[in-house]
Structure 1
Amino acid sequence: MSKKLTLSTIKESNKKYSQKKRIDLPDGNHVFIYPDFSPTKTVEFVRELLMEYLNKEDNGLSKTKIDLNSWTVLSLLYKFADLGIPSDTKKKILAFNELLEYEYTPLIIGGFTTESINKLKATMDNIVKNIDLLAKEQNLNDSDLIEQVIKTETEKELAE
């Protein structure tokens, strides 16, 4: 027999999104990550990622050797780890270059749950698919297109 869903039950379930996990590294350091990604943080992450990459000419990203895949992985650390990575894109690029060289970055990334990574991939896939569909249907600039798709995805995530 099932129980009636209440706001208290939802709050209890959502606590997992604010729980930190400690990752101990072989060099004696540790880092805290948030291994479970909330739906709103996931959509926020994808929006920031796309907007930064879309504006790469303006923010200096185009002059770096960081490809979109690496930028995505490093952005995970920015959004879901307590590393103190600055929010300014130009400073973030400098931090990301350091993380690319750090031998234990893969261990930190490995601390995220498979479920969260899969949710993130599904959200990104849906957004890219919707961007392609909207681009064919409407004559919007890239920023407006991404904003419209993100709004749609946010509404879908919150409805689930």
Structure 2
Amino acid sequence: MNKVIKIEFEVVIQRLKEKLSEKSDRALARALGMSDSGIAVARTTKSLPIIPIVNACVAQGISLDEIFLGQTTNPDSAQTFHTLTQTDLIQASEMVDRVLDRVLTNNSLPTLQQFDAYKRLRPVLIKAVFDNDFDESIVTAIAEATLALV
């Protein structure tokens, strides 16, 4: 069973600053390929810039689990982890966009609630894509079930 994990905005930003050796929001925004005010805007909207974060982490070889969940992996561990490629991440993002467009379009929520649901569901569904080996029907079911709780 999947569990929803609340990701703390400020904690993620601090981990990124540490891993990318950046001291200010402006420097972090630049390191993520965003405008100088990118982190300030993200902080105001309380919406993590997922794609720039993922792209920077992949490019720098930084674990997404470490950034988002604070979990480190032991390099001496016997476990083998699948290395995500940029193509995997793009495909996951595109699948989540398709699922959210379909699920939210079929729902009668007002526009602002749809936007809020989109922001809240997107990170959960990105994780669900990888947890369920890109099975779109499972990701759709998770989106529908989660939306029913909103």
Higher relative contact order (Cα pairs below 8 Å, separated by 6+ residues): 1
TM-score normalised to structure 2 length: 0.31
Higher strand share: 1
Q: Which has the higher Rg, Structure 1 or Structure 2? A: 1
